[in-house]
Structure 1
């Protein structure tokens, strides 16, 4: 994929965004402004520990390579993108391995550089986590594109940290300079939220970065009866994949119908994987399951009799079917010859047409004004 060049006060980087059109850059003005402020405010020192939180494609990690930063990110996209972009900038020291919320780093850190997420609950969670690992006199630089800042972000910062300075906006991006506050995750009631699943006594919970964590979304509500019906005819031990699993509600519904199946849960979000793990341990502690933090289906995952999918249709500020198309291509490689891919998606994205480029048999199982349930197979 062609690369673009990010110029900032500390140098320049050649960066590429994996799996995207050349017109979409691997960095934005928020990355540029965060790097500029970090270079101006953080003094490189062997005694200083620096942490980058939720870098997107490696711009922050590579741009701050002189500080030898640790890195933690919710998305499984970053480790792959970082390796690729590190190769494009061989003059820089190699970055450290990326951690996730499944294995977060430990403080104290003297400086933390953080991309502000789009959702206020996740921002509140991050700021409280930061308070637990930031040194008493540590510096937090939080930045994002103004149009993507979450609702009530001013209040969220005020409730968690000490805002020292709001930097002037540049190129529609903003950086906020903070010092640690006293708010913590241990006494915060917003860390876990959930709901009871219809037709069962099952309750699912999720961390803030997880889609639809407070109520069952209407697409999944339409999807679940078809999931139960489809897995009911499988043989004991058949392998089922809940792809882009979120809190795991789809795979949990399958286990509610057939606990003798072998379920794999996979999601690009580590908070989603952690949420699915928690729900599984409480509802089905003896079931044959595994949970994977991955961007799609791992090449060595083997084949499945059922792949269950409610595909994301947005990635950051980019909306469309690009994620679903990549997952369809992977599903084609990992669906058994007699298997079925079941999916629910927004009607306006025309998934019935795109699925036919990967599978010879596609049929509609259900629909409402907003969503459609489709089944794809080889025969």
Structure 2
């Protein structure tokens, strides 16, 4: 059998660069172990599930090797689109996409996992495998050695009786978990937390979990929106009770303003804005399926389902051009485990496309990144609203 053409895989529509590949050594180790287990257990592809296959390297390689019917779950919309594009480019079919749900794992005897960064996400996945997969299921999890910790073994040990780390190869390592344990009747996810009148709901893969991350707090303060959504009056200089630089609201459209929370996470910005501006039409979008599920639950928990719509999308690709009055953005500065500003640039470009002329982009970012000149170039005139040693908030006006 010819060797699978990994070099033909692309990351598109995710960021592409010379130092960013569409596969890694962990993918290759997982494929090799899956082929060995399939031969040993006499499995076909319908008994194999793949979780976290970033751009399709695992799924497509195994399907190309004759294992038909593999089920795959990818959290990111970019990964889902890359898998579909790579499959079409290589002429490979015979697999199916699923959410992290019983349909993904029912009857699965081998589950392959690219280890996620967050322990909470790993915990939710491990619980799902133990809960829904076959009683003799084996979970083979892999990652780059430099990103692996003993805590991952401990998390897997909560759901599996046997957890064995394998010898490292090519700077990657596999962990094999077997003998699924009995799971609690109620799944531990999603989790819920209260923040001064704002209820946040989070699945394991959502950034910051049910906490209110620091950047979001800063942006909410600048907007003059409390956690519970009420508008606050700006405090005078030196009052010590709050910011004196609360942003003036954007000039509204003739109809109800349209506000986009781009990269919404658990939905804290979208829901807080909707509570403070019940006349607004708010769209919350994120490329993470875990974030989208969390945001939808947050919207429901705060009673704003009538004015907030949550979508799973990549860089607002489904939002019409020049249709938005305000974009709220707390951009990521990582691509997977790599620090890379390309993810933020894509969201700035998306903001430029969806904003109407004169519309506003309100952004919070790490002060060390210095995005102001880039925002001016891509969006329009940009002013600094607030700066701390850690975070900067800017307002950019979309040029005509």
Contact 2:299 2:305 in 1 (8 A): no
Does 2:283 align with 1:264?
yes
Does 2:300 align with 1:281?
yes
CA distance, structure 1, for counterparts of residue 101 and residue 317 of structure 2: 18
Query: Which residue of the other structure, out of 371, 376, 383, is the alignment partner of 1:356?
Result: 376
**1:178 and 1:262, CA in 2 relative to 1: closer, same or farther beyond 3 A?**
same
**1:148 and 1:168, CA in 2 relative to 1: closer, same or farther beyond 3 A?**
same
Does 2:167 align with 1:149?
no
CA distance, structure 1, for counterparts of residue 398 and residue 87 of structure 2: 39
CA distance, structure 1, for counterparts of residue 153 and residue 142 of structure 2: 13
CA distance, structure 2, for counterparts of residue 163 and residue 11 of structure 1: 32
What secondary structure is seen at the aligned counterpart in 1 of 2:137?
strand
Contact 1:268 1:294 in 2 (8 A): yes
Contact 2:258 2:326 in 1 (8 A): yes
Say what the alpha-carbon RMSD is for the aligned residues: 2.4
Query: Which structure: greater strand fraction?
Result: 1
User: Partner of 1:20 in structure 2?
Assistant: 16
Does 2:36 align with 1:37?
no
CA distance, structure 2, for counterparts of residue 372 and residue 103 of structure 1: 42
CA distance, structure 1, for counterparts of residue 45 and residue 345 of structure 2: 46
- Where do 5+ consecutive residues of structure 2 fail to align? 226-246
User: Partner of 2:160 in structure 1?
Assistant: 161
What secondary structure is seen at the aligned counterpart in 1 of 2:49?
strand
Cα deviation, residue 50, structure 1: 1.2
Does 2:235 align with 1:234?
no
What secondary structure is seen at the aligned counterpart in 2 of 1:42?
helix
Aligned residue pairs total: 367
What secondary structure is seen at the aligned counterpart in 2 of 1:263?
strand
Of stretches 210-219 and 251-260 in structure 1, the one that deviates more from structure 2 is 210-219
User: Partner of 1:75 in structure 2?
Assistant: 76
Cα deviation, residue 207, structure 1: 1.2
Does 2:368 align with 1:369?
no
**1:114 and 1:279, CA in 2 relative to 1: closer, same or farther beyond 3 A?**
same
**1:10 and 1:126, CA in 2 relative to 1: closer, same or farther beyond 3 A?**
farther
CA distance, structure 2, for counterparts of residue 132 and residue 104 of structure 1: 12
CA distance, structure 2, for counterparts of residue 252 and residue 103 of structure 1: 29
Which digits, 9 at most, give the CA deviation of each residue in 1:114-151, with x for residues without a partner? 11111111111110101122212222211111222255
User: Partner of 1:204 in structure 2?
Assistant: 200
**Aligned pairs (5 A) from 1:318-329:** 318-329=338-349
**Aligned pairs (5 A) from 1:14-163:** 14-18=8-12, 19-43=15-39, 45-46=43-44, 48-65=46-63, 66-68=66-68, 69-90=70-91, 93-101=92-100, 105-150=104-149, 152-163=151-162
TM-score normalised per structure 1:
0.89
Of stretches 346-355 and 18-27 in structure 1, the one that deviates more from structure 2 is 18-27
Contact 2:271 2:308 in 1 (8 A): no
TM-score normalised per structure 2:
0.85
CA distance, structure 2, for counterparts of residue 86 and residue 214 of structure 1: 36
**1:355 and 1:292, CA in 2 relative to 1: closer, same or farther beyond 3 A?**
same
CA distance, structure 2, for counterparts of residue 241 and residue 333 of structure 1: 12
**1:186 and 1:375, CA in 2 relative to 1: closer, same or farther beyond 3 A?**
farther
Cα deviation, residue 328, structure 1: 0.8
Which digits, 9 at most, give the CA deviation of each residue in 1:41-99, with x for residues without a partner? 11365585211111111111111112121111211111111122224423xx3253432
